[in-house]
Amino acid sequence: MARFVFRLPDIGEGIAQAEIVGWHVKVGDRVAEDQSLVDVMTDKATVDMTSPVTGVVVATHGEAGALIAVGASLVEFEMEGEGQAAAPAAAPKPATKPAQPAPPVAAKAAAPTAAPVAAAKAEPTSRPAATAPAFTTRAPNEAPLASPAVRHRAYELGIPLQFVPGSAAAGRITEQDLDNYIASGGANANTNVADNRFAKRTAVHETKLIGLRRKIAEKMQEAKRRIPHFGYVEEFDMTELEAFRRDLNEERAAHQPKLTLLPFFMRAVVTLVPQFPHFNARYDDEAGVLHSFDGVHIGIATQSNTGLMVPVVRHCEALDVWGCARELIRVTTAAREGKATRDELSGSTITLTSLGTLGGISATPVINHPEVAILGPNKLVERPVVLNGQIAIRTLMNVSCAFDHRIIDGHDAARFVQALKRLIERPAHLFMDRS
């Protein structure tokens, strides 16, 4: 007889502890390999811990509701004798294998099993509906087993192998395992597609956020959690700028890029920075220090196939409107093609976000933390307006902005946007030398 201690495995990046939700076994139960032992909840998901061994439970640690640390012992087993050359029966195995679609966990728990423990099990209805697919149980600090090529590829893709079930001997992750994991969007794919239009759709699809999507989620949460946003929307009359822009585009030389609205906004921000230095800034709220920059590095919210990226046009103050346009095209293309370097994706001091023709009438942009301001032009529309007592057709556009209210008072925000409006509505100002 040998004793086996099952410890809470490292179930995810940065998770140091988990809460016990409910036990499925008790002391004295005989447990088969892969049988559910306990549900634990992390801040991200509820995870079904399955037994890596067959044996009798001799101790369980922690009541439901208790927080336990990764690496702490959860269950102790007494196992049948094993020789030096015993078959690798005790290998931790993924509770669900990617090759075959996993049955819903609740159904699995309710299904009758040969083990006597099934009868003694707590009622399955008490289990949370959204139980995440079980993880490959790896011991804490244990590097996931995979060949250098697989490790290399996963790292490049930003996939922590910790999450990837391994199908080969000793739980090794093969190329195929990684492919399956990626194809399933980081979770085990549910292949039960309803074929009747009026049938109730009961499936719940779970997608593990990985790679860029996870980064975006963290970044957005960080911005909204830390920054009290102050929103401000103003209507800009774009008629003059649009005429000017059309003219420039028609007259442009072959080497000059086509101008969109954004380069004008970039130049307008550059013009305003000396007057509003604390708008072009990064706020280190932990240190309580605001870093205002003389140089203007404008982040450009860009939609790529994998999600939102914010490449940066550096030193806009040193670029003319053509230069801004050229750099804007270069960095956003690089970002879309996944070729942007780290430098091109960081270091912005203020951000522009434009949805172009999808711009809508208003938006509530989220500040690109740790910056303090974000400007979002909405959609251009022609509308009748009263001008000098006459009804005229003008090209109008709303601009939705958000500011970090810890740094920027509403009054200053309004002054900034009004100054911006003046520059955009009378674009000649943008090209005037200032003393």
Footprint of other proteins (CB under 8 A): 82-86, 88-92, 143, 145-148, 151-152, 155-156, 158, 168-172, 339, 341-342
Beta strand segments in 340-389, E:
350-352, 373-387
* Smallest gap from residue 166 Cβ to other proteins (A): 9
Q: Are 279 and 270 in contact (CB under 8 A)?
A: no
Place of tokens 């032009």: 377
**409 tagged catalytic:** yes
Catalytic residue among 405, 411, 412, 429: 405
Place of tokens 């809470």: 8
Comparison of 88 and 116: residue with beta carbon closer to other proteins: 88
Comparison of 90 and 105: residue with beta carbon closer to other proteins: 90
* Smallest gap from residue 427 Cβ to other proteins (A): 37
**405 tagged catalytic:** yes
Comparison of 26 and 291: residue with beta carbon closer to other proteins: 291
* Smallest gap from residue 80 Cβ to other proteins (A): 13
d(CA 404, CA 371): 8
* Smallest gap from residue 261 Cβ to other proteins (A): 31
* Smallest gap from residue 3 Cβ to other proteins (A): 10
Comparison of 149 and 428: residue with beta carbon closer to other proteins: 149
* Smallest gap from residue 111 Cβ to other proteins (A): 27
Is the C-alpha dihedral spanning 413, 416, 418, 420 positive or negative? negative
Q: Are 113 and 35 in contact (CB under 8 A)?
A: yes
Of 262, 267, 430, 269, the C-alpha closest to 332 is 262
Backbone angles phi, psi at 83, to 5 degrees: -90, 175
Place of tokens 């208790």: 66
Q: Are 267 and 327 in contact (CB under 8 A)?
A: no
The dihedral over CA atoms of 343, 345, 348, 353, expressed in degrees to the nearest 10, equals: 160
Strand 289-292 and strand 298-300: the pairing is unpaired
What's the gap between Cα 278 and its chain centre? 28
Strand partners, 67: 19
Name residues whose C-beta falls within 8 Å of residue 158's C-beta, 6 or more positions apart in sequence.
210, 211, 212, 214, 215
Comparison of 88 and 288: residue with beta carbon closer to other proteins: 88
Comparison of 339 and 411: residue with beta carbon closer to other proteins: 339
Residues marked active site are found at: 405, 409
